[in-house]
């Protein structure tokens, strides 16, 4: 089997993960290529290793960079952009996933509050129904905000262990 076979297995895993998220397999292959490299690679090197065109790889790298899975780096004295994968998935979840959730929660709170102000003083039946729905959404949004903040401010593994302990205890009690 060996190293190359292990890399091939993981490359397919990353490609399949991309497919599961509705993306082209190229996204997974790019991440896989970068995942196994110790040094950043140029756009051309990534295109060569994946077998895809420069334009396809460039487009995919922009998305991977925007979601925080890939980081663009510069080498001193070189004008080319180089790319490296975020290999610590815990770091990725904290910096990309949870921070984006936090931003979405904040934006949701702002918009729900704005919508609620728009129907202030309106006592129609429709306004009452909408107000109830918005207030319910605000309550759920506040819960989501607390949960995300717990993950951002604490060690993720510890939080998950505590959650599992609580759930398992609750199940045993029932």
Reported pTM: 0.62
* Domain ranges (residues) in the chain: 2-85, 89-173
Give the tens place of pLDDT for each residue, 75-117: 888 889 999 998 777 777 776 678 778 889 999 999 999 999 9
53 phi and psi, to 5 degrees?
A: -70, 160
Q: Which fold has domain 2-85?
A: Arc Repressor Mutant, subunit A (1.10.10)
Element (H, E) at 141: helix 125-153
pLDDT at position 100, please? 79
Q: How far apart are CA 78 and CA 42, in angstroms?
A: 11
The pLDDT of residue 173 is above 80: yes
The pLDDT of residue 137 is above 90: yes
- Percentage above 70 pLDDT, the chain: 97
Q: How far apart are CA 172 and CA 167, in angstroms?
A: 9
Our measurement of the distance from residue 159's CA atom to the centroid of its chain's CA atoms, rounded to an integer in Å, reads 18
């Amino acid at each position: 089997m060996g190293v190359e076979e292990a890399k091939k297995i993981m490359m397919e895993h990353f490609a399949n993960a991309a497919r599961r998220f509705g993306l082209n397999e190229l996204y997974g292959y790019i991440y896989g290529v970068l995942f196994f490299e110790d040094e950043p690679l140029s756009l051309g090197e990534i295109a060569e290793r994946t077998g895809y065109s420069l334009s396809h790889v460039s487009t995919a790298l922009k998305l991977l960079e925007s979601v925080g899975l890939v980081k663009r780096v510069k080498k001193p004295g070189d004008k080319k952009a180089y790319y490296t994968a975020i290999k610590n998935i815990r770091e990725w979840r904290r910096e990309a996933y949870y921070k984006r959730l936090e931003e979405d929660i904040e934006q949701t709170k702002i918009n729900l509050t704005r919508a609620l102000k728009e129907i202030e003083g309106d006592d129609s039946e429709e306004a009452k129904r909408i107000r109830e729905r918005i207030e319910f959404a605000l309550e759920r949004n506040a819960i989501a905000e607390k949960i995300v903040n717990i993950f951002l401010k604490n060690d993720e593994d510890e939080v998950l262990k505590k959650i599992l302990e609580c759930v398992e205890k609750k199940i045993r009690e029932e």
